[in-house]
Amino acid sequence: MRSSSLGYPRIGGQREWKKNLEAFWAGKRSKTDFLQEQKSLRLSYLQKQQQLGLDLIPVGDFSDYDHVLDTAVAFGIVPERFAYAGGKVEEETYFAIARGTDDAVAAEMTKWFNTNYHYIVPELTASREPALVDNRWLRLYEEAKSELGINGKPVLLGPVSFVKLAKQYGNKSFSEHVQTLVPLYGQVLAELAQAGAPLIQVDEPILAGDVTEAEWAVVEETYQSLAKLAPNAKLLLQTYFESVADYNRFIQLPVAGLGFDFVAGKEETFQNLRVNGFPNDKLLALGVIDGRNIWRTDLTAVNAELKEVLQVVERERLILQPSSSLLHVPVTVQSEEKIADELKEAIAFADEKIIEIVSLAKVVNGHEPPSLLEASKHALGRLNASEARNNQSVQQEVAQISSEDPSRGLDAPTRAKLQAAKLKLPLLPTTTIGSFPQTKEIRKKRLDWRKGKLDSAGYETFINAEIDRWIAIQEQLGLDVLVHGEFERTDMVEFFGEKLGGFQFTTYGWVQSYGSRCVKPPIIYGDVYFKQPMTVKETVYAQSKTDKPVKGMLTGPVTIYNWSFPRADITEGEAVNQIALALRKEVLALEKHGIGVIQVDEPALREGLPLKRAKWQSYLDQSVTAFQLTVNQVKPETQIHTHMCYSDFQDIIEAIDGLDADVISIEMSRSHGELISSFEEYTYNKGIGLGVYDIHSPRVPAKEEIARNIERALNVLHPKQFWVNPDCGLKTRQEPETVAALKVMVEAAKEARQTLETKTI
């Protein structure tokens, strides 16, 4: 039996990767120095995995931005607007696709399945044939071999999943797009096999979702073709995030090995192994350690399960690994010095998960006694018995939910009339999503305050000055509903977790969200409860500085759950409802202090959908209930907003409607307005803002671009419904570009408003 991993975190224990990227983008580091530092980081990660004792070390999983984008540019798949002339894609073009330029809009970015990682969506057209312009997997395999003596396991995103995750334009079908790529993949695999790669991991995560008959036919044809094109390549076909859609079909594919997530969908996979067996000519790779959450695994329980697995597959054909790439967890818990021992001993980040895998393999192979595995069981048991996980007050409050009516009483149109009379907003009201740029000075002041170098009074004075300045900027720009700017906040989830009971925070627990954007998810380790007001002080202060309405800004319960590392000892529904009941107290506190517009953001609602549609409704019902619990006790005159971003909303439009928010803002700019089609087919009677420009690119949009987006939306939505706003918060942008972009946005909205006011509405 061998130990393996599907991928390792890119960002580094101290975010060295992020710092290198941003220095290069800012012109502070030459391309040569940037590439050399990337290589040093890449090799150091491989060396660490080698030192931890991993048998099959993944190579090629390292990326300069995103692994899906890596796959696209390796095959010369570059959107036409970037004026690509062929050949190896240089870093400047690579980053332009991801971030945009003054002349070209960035490629769309969306969620990687049901995670908080975002990938760059490839754009497939019929006008340019893909070509293998850079066998990056061979390059990185040979680098590991020559520099470190590591005969690694190359990791590729498979052709079927790549096309499935891409935008497909032109007259080519899904099948034809895949067929176009198959010879190129065949060349990659053949060259890797010739170079000596012992096993090649080909990820096909879409096979763990809903797969149609036609798609299965494409999968079968693809891997039959690859077996002929690269007969010496030993492929490990890898799935994750759920059980395989059609087990019997999957195990018949002509590959050397098959990889299963043995955490998510474990029951289905286990049952299939018991009932249907496993081919005697294939390797079985089992993801027995949770690659997405940070808790230690009860290795004694896994060891018992493996004894049953070994009745189906002999030990020599078994590979133990995490359930997914470790991209989704921080690097190591060893750097965390502020976490109490009782909790810290129950946590495992990437390095610790590799140690778990290696230890488990040693026990199963008979090289270590089973007692080596007992520490994890005892650590988890101590945490489960702790006072933090047995808060009777919280548990009683959750138990009473079933007797509560989650609705707001009055229907949305009736509430809208009351809110219009109170707020007196113009047609096409303008607003932002909530955050404004966090400058180096803001971050330094926060750090000084946290370290005790700046007292609380001095810090509050500084934050109030920033609020004063940005309230004035918003009024000068002519925005209609203002925000206080969130200058006191770090991450939108971390901020609330710090102020709620039941959360723990890390010092270096960073994970990649998109590009160089890293987040530090809180750990939900105990029952969640409200301690004291969290946002009231700054919001009320901002409202005192203007006659225009200022939105209270909260992160919603589903997003806090999905963007945290949640508990594994209670159900998701129970945990989300605990958060909702705590946030409700904050919503009511804002209303009590005169805040008449309150935004409860749920950007992560869509990403939490299970991969299989059959499991959707339960999740959506649970999410809608939690949102309603958060806001259902406010007065009908209080306008509730929510925000979502970077997802395919067409599939969940009914659930979005069911939230019963008075106004929802949704990303539209990167999806080039395709979301609007949802509202052509679904009657939506509430306020809606379809983000009219992309904040993830530093470029300032032209007024004509925003005007087109507004016009496109008004072809479907009634003018009295439509709000004009950016597609996301502005925290990561620079101040000059933010002000310039908002100025353009407001001017475009005013011109559209004037045009509409000449008509009868």
Residues 531-587 have pLDDT tens digits of: 999 999 999 999 999 999 999 999 999 999 999 999 999 999 999 999 999 999 999
Nearest partner of 558 among 643, 433, 654, judged by Cα: 643
> Does residue 704 form part of some domain?
yes
> Does residue 335 form part of some domain?
no
Which run of H or E residues covers position 555?
strand 551-555
438 and 362 within one domain: no
Contact partners, residue 374, CB within 8 Å, separation at least 6? 300
DSSP state letters, 600-640: EE-TTTGGGS-SSGGGHHHHHHHHHHHHHHHHTTS-TTSEE
Would the annotation count 608 as a binding residue? no
Would the annotation count 176 as a binding residue? no
Q: Give yes or no for a contact between 293 and 565, defined as CB atoms under 8 angstroms apart.
A: yes
577 and 455 within one domain: yes
DSSP state letters, 338-400: SS-HHHHTTB--HHHHHHHHHHHHHHHTTSS-GGGGHHHHHHHHHHHTSGGG--HHHHHHHHT
CATH of the domain at 447: 3.20.20.210
354 and 446 within one domain: no
Would the annotation count 116 as a binding residue? yes
pLDDT at 510: 95
| pTM for the structure as a whole | 0.89
Would the annotation count 517 as a binding residue? yes
> Does residue 92 form part of some domain?
no
pLDDT at 356: 98
Residues spanned by the domain of 380: 2-64+126-329+344-385
141 and 181 within one domain: yes
Q: Give yes or no for a contact between 321 and 5, defined as CB atoms under 8 angstroms apart.
A: yes
Q: Output the CA–CA distances (angstroms, integers) from residue 723 to 211, 356, 431, 596, 607, in the order listed.
A: 37, 51, 8, 17, 24
565 and 422 within one domain: yes
The arrangement of strands across the sheet holding 722-723 comes to: 551-555, 597-601, 639-644, 663-666, 687-690, 722-723
Report residue 350 as tokens: 């990437």
Would the annotation count 354 as a binding residue? no
Would the annotation count 450 as a binding residue? no
Would the annotation count 537 as a binding residue? no
> Does residue 99 form part of some domain?
no
322 and 206 within one domain: yes
Report residue 333 as tokens: 């818990």
Active site residues: 696
pLDDT-flagged residues of the chain (< 70) = 646-649, 668-677, 760-761
Eight-class DSSP state of 574: H
Strands 639-644, 663-666: parallel, antiparallel or unpaired by DSSP?
parallel
361 and 435 within one domain: no
CA separation for the pair 596, 640 (Å, rounded): 9
| Residue 622 identity | Q
> Does residue 426 form part of some domain?
yes
369 and 420 within one domain: no
Count of CA atoms in the C-beta half-sphere (13 A) of 185: 29
pLDDT at 406: 80
Domains: count for the chain: 2
Write the secondary structure of 400-462 as one string of H (helix), E (strand) and C (coil). CHHHCCCCCCCCHHHHHHHHHHHHCCCCCCECCCCECCCCHHHHHHHHHHHCCCCCHHHHHHH
233 and 156 within one domain: yes
308 and 446 within one domain: no
462 and 596 within one domain: yes
Would the annotation count 489 as a binding residue? no
> Does residue 492 form part of some domain?
yes
DSSP state letters, 199-216: -EEEE-GGGGS---HHHH
Contact partners, residue 446, CB within 8 Å, separation at least 6? 459, 488, 490
Would the annotation count 518 as a binding residue? yes
How many residues are listed for the chain in this entry? 761
622 and 582 within one domain: yes
> Does residue 107 form part of some domain?
no
> Does residue 406 form part of some domain?
no
Residues 73-116 have pLDDT tens digits of: 999 999 999 999 999 999 999 999 999 998 898 999 988 999 98
Q: Rounded to the nearest 10 degrees, how much is the dihedral formed by the CA atoms of 743, 745, 750, 753?
A: -170
- State in Å, rounded, how far the first CA of the chain is from the last one: 71
